[in-house]
Amino acid sequence: MTFFEGNNMTAGYNNGPDIINSCTVKADKGEIVALLGPNGAGKSTVMKALLGLLKLKKGNVLINGEDISNLKPQERVKKGISFVPQTRNVFAELTVKENLEVGAFLRTDNIQNVIDEIFELFPVLSEKKNQIVGELSGGQRQQVALGRALMIKPSVLMLDEPTAGVSPIVMDELFEHIIKIKKTNVAVIMVEQNAKQALTISDRGYVLVTGQNKFEGLGKDLLKDPEVRRSFLGA
């Protein structure tokens, strides 16, 4: 049994056509799973379905064997699922430390220990803890977003385009941080346009086409697959 899984998910918006059809995505703790595909393939729809922002017509979502398909997003967060959207993922007018504190809204214990763990994971945030987030670089703001998502001590972390709009150097730094997060025994699922780089750090990957699983496998195997390389990796 995989720790977190969306099985045979079919869903669409309102009364419109299905955007994903019998789509399956699975992730274990301590694993990075990349969700790839062209624009319009249904990657964001999969994320919304896993988060409970979109009701499934068919299929289910399980965490640690428990069916959470009918739980609201807030209830799924309480089960340990955290999400970093591509945009509007920080409070630009607050300090770094205040952003982390906002991320701990579900906690009732002393959060300072968790903040210390975040600062250990992201040393630059400790250096700039009293700085307004809007004054930080794009890469540093993304670290704040990651840190804020980790404040609930999630077992599953979902990332939507974590390297969008950053330079190649910053992208590499962010991927290094994602690897660090994985090593804390968190299941990481990320939608990523930088497919080649994403597969390089991913344990497994799924390539979606028109809302269906087109390819899936180990990251290193997908990197070598001639059809995947030709169609999605620009090789």
Residue 159 has pLDDT above 90, yes or no: yes
Residue 234 has pLDDT above 70, yes or no: no
Whether residue 137 lies inside any domain: the answer is: no
Report pLDDT digits (tens) over 210-223: 999 999 999 999 99
Whether residue 6 lies inside any domain: the answer is: yes
Q: What is the mean pLDDT of the chain?
A: 92
Residue matched to tokens 């049994």: 1
The domain tally of the chain equals 1
Residue 53: C-alpha distances to residues 49, 97, 135 (Å): 6, 28, 31
8 Å CB contact between 24 and 6: yes
Angle between helix axes 168-182 and 138-150 (nearest 10 degrees) is 10
Range of the domain at 200: 1-80+189-235
pLDDT of residue 170: 87
pLDDT of residue 235: 53
Whether residue 135 lies inside any domain: the answer is: no
Judged by phi (left if over 0) then psi (alpha if -120 to 50, else beta), residue 113 lies in alpha
Q: How far apart are CA 148 and CA 98, in angstroms?
A: 10
Report pLDDT digits (tens) over 43-102: 999 999 999 999 999 999 999 999 999 999 999 999 999 999 888 889 999 999 999 998
Whether residue 132 lies inside any domain: the answer is: no
Strands 187-191 and 156-160: parallel
CATH of the domain at 74: 3.40.50.300
Residue matched to tokens 């399956």: 24
Q: For residue 110, which phi and psi values (nearest 5 degrees)? A: -75, 115
Q: How far apart are CA 60 and CA 227, in angstroms?
A: 30
Q: How far apart are CA 208 and CA 177, in angstroms?
A: 25
Whether residue 161 lies inside any domain: the answer is: no
Whether residue 74 lies inside any domain: the answer is: yes
Strands 204-209 and 31-36: parallel
Q: For residue 153, which phi and psi values (nearest 5 degrees)? A: 55, 60
Whether residue 232 lies inside any domain: the answer is: yes
Q: For residue 131, which phi and psi values (nearest 5 degrees)? A: -90, 145
Whether residue 125 lies inside any domain: the answer is: no
Q: Note the residue count of the chain.
A: 235
Average pLDDT over residues 190-200: 91
pLDDT of residue 231: 80
Q: How far apart are CA 111 and CA 187, in angstroms?
A: 22
